[in-house]
A and B are shown apart, each in its own frame.
Chain A
Amino acid sequence: MGAYITRRLLQAILIVLLVSIVIFIIIRLLPGDPIEMLVAQNITAENPDELVAFIKHEMKLDLPVWQQYFTWLWGAVRGDLGLSILYRYDIGQELANRLPVTLSLGLTAFVLGFVLGTLLGVIAAIKRGSWIDSLVTVMANIGITAPAFWVGIILIYILGMHLGILPIYGYTPIYKDVVMSIKQAIMPVFILSLYPVATAARLTRSSVLEVVNEDYIRTAWAKGLSQKVIILRHVLKNALMPVVTLQGLLLRNIVGGSIIVESIFVIPGMGQLLVDSMLAHDYTVVQSVMLVMSVVVVITNLIVDIAYGWLDPRIQYE
């Protein structure tokens, strides 16, 4: 297990490095020079060209691209993500405030997706052909195909505007006002978890139906085990393998979905910051948000991989 974890950890570091290079390249391709825009707005500047050069020098933007990359990377490793070009705030500090917001909603949706998704999938598979099965299948298909922003609009219309039982925007940390915090989180978490619940339910259902036909399940029945033991010990543990793998992929969707949800519900998280700073051409912020979002996904994938290796020891020796 130790060797396996080390190998996975090294792979994760390599992936983060590659991701950082990809992000850096994409950002250099962004149109418009934010420094020149900044100086152009400042009409009192006596010598604009000199000012542009001065700011570029100060922000180390006059160095060759590869040197800029390493400066940025080295800073990021130490937790220093630099300053926002436009507003001069400390990006690391800003992200430290925003990351918990996105994570608290995202992780709730992630856990909900896994627990509720597998539960519904198992129930549908056990009651195959019944109305519960049909209901789960139909709901799963709707959950996969309904656009997140559209579900958001419907919820806001019904729950927020017509019934008036939930606030339609905003975010409150849970330690400040528990009731308000939960009320505000219900719709965003529901939307974020819709896709994970639906895909996990669908995959669990088909996976359980497959495992049920295996020889070792017949053996378990033959030796007289109860249905509960068979399902919990033998079926579920094997059927969950593909579902655990899926979780790594789902996290990308949750982090991506947070961009939509935070825009609709005006939540001060990373997704909102990404959209805002992209519209403002604030390079340094965009690249830092992208990096942090990807690192979150990589770390969760690492945890999923380790869990997978623990569930299925064969994986460790591949």
Chain B
Amino acid sequence: MSELKLNNGEVIKVKLETLPKVNEFRRFFRVFFSRKVVIFGMAVILLTIIAAIFAPVIAPYDPYEQNLCNVLQPPSAEHLLGTDTIGRDTLSRIIYGSRIALFVGVATVGIAAFIGTVIGLIAGYLGHKTYTVIMRLTDALMSMPPLMIALVLSVVLGAGVRGVMVAITFSLLPGYIRLVTGQVLSIKQNDYIMSALSMGSKKARIMFRHILPNCLSPIIVQMTMMMGLAIMMEATLSFLNMGITPPTPAWGSLCYDGYKYLLMRPVLSLSPGFAIMLLVFSFNMVGDGLRDTLDPRLRGTI
């Protein structure tokens, strides 16, 4: 019981009923893991991370080890997914390929999200001319097919991990800029921004202390979804021979190498492709789950 003083001086006693305290962490886990497909996705991602880190322990063979007496073997107990044209074990190469896929995915998405968020914050918050210039440039980048930009840029920068990373980062960037700018524009209308302004907060403080935390959820969701896209793009570039260069095992180039022997050994090109699809699917499902947990209002918009 606590006392409440009314305007006319009367004092009444009211019972304050507080809502039962919700453990945010628990709520997160309950909602997040309520769908089986999200659990599945999470499991696949964790397994892939483990496979990438402990590749030397897990992989049955050295992915670079050639064995010319043992080329194009069908799947067997010794080589679960067979061997390629110079006798390298396909399974080992796929396990090592997860390193490239995850590394490129995480790095490109992280960098693109960081740069995109900063540019988006500036465009959305400063408004006027800055906004117009940045948005028109974003529109221009948005009207170029991402694969086309990535393809040309990775040739400009020279095929290889570095070139592929810059190319994919650049093609992911406009999506983030647009997302963050949109968020900032709507958050800017809130009263708490006005009160922060009237209290004399600096622009940078408002941008990073008040606006940024409020647009983090969609950014995180977008990052998970973009992981799938980035991994797919790396695989596509490698498949077209303009991405990760041999002999480094990347799933896309494994697919391409195996494609030449499709009729004889379909497993060579089908298995790495399946790995790509599984990982991309998992990231998308986890992204879906995160979206439903972090901000159900976003359902259908991202």
Contact = CB atoms under 8 A, between A and B. Distances in A.
Interface in A238-264: 242, 249, 252-253, 255-257, 259-260, 263
A161 B262 contact: yes
Interface stretch (B59-67, B116-124, B268-276): B268-276
Given A15-B136, A18-B140, A298-B143, A146 B277 contact: yes
Contacts of A203: 300
Nearest to A300: B143
A150 B153 CA distance: 23
Given A161-B262, A290-B148, A19 B281 contact: no
A252 B146 contact: yes
Contacts of B82: none
A274 to B, nearest CB: 7
Contact of A147 (B145, B266, B273): B273
B158 interface: yes
A111 interface: no
Contacts of A298: 143
| A contact face: mostly helix, strand, loop, or mixed | helix
A141 B284 contact: yes
A29 interface: yes
Given A22-B140, A147-B276, A242-B300, A293 B148 contact: yes
Contacts of B277: 142, 145-147, 150
Given A147-B277, A210-B300, A31 B158 contact: yes
A301 interface: yes
Interface size class of B (residues with CB under 8 A): 35 or more
Interface stretch (A79-87, A151-159, A214-222, A228-236): A151-159
B143 A294 contact: yes
Given A153-B273, A278-B242, A22 B141 contact: yes
Contacts of A249: 142
A252 B140 CA distance: 12
A40 to B, nearest CB: 20
B262 A252 contact: no
Given A19-B140, A31-B156, A206-B299, A259 B281 contact: no
A267 interface: no
B78 interface: no
B155 A252 contact: no
Nearest to B258: A153
Given A147-B235, A150-B277, A260-B147, A252 B255 contact: no
B188 to A, nearest CB: 17
Nearest to A161: B263
A149 interface: yes
Contacts of A142: 277, 281
B144 interface: yes
Nearest to A287: B152
A65 to B, nearest CB: 16
Interface in A146-190: 146-150, 153-154, 156-157, 161
A30 B242 CA distance: 14
Contacts of A141: 281, 284-285
A252 B229 CA distance: 14
Given A147-B232, A148-B236, A161-B262, A274 B151 contact: yes
Given A147-B235, A157-B262, A298-B143, 17 more contacts: A18-B139, A31-B156, A145-B280, A146-B277, A147-B239, A148-B236, A150-B270, A153-B262, A157-B266, A161-B262, A161-B263, A252-B144, A259-B145, A259-B151, A259-B240, A293-B148, A297-B145
Q: Which 10 A-B pairs have the closest CB atoms?
A: A150-B273, A256-B147, A256-B145, A18-B140, A206-B300, A145-B281, A145-B280, A255-B145, A252-B145, A297-B143
Interface of B: 136-137, 139-149, 151-153, 155-156, 158, 228, 232, 235-236, 239-240, 242, 252, 255, 259, 262-263, 266, 269-270, 273-274, 276-277, 280-281, 284-285, 299-301
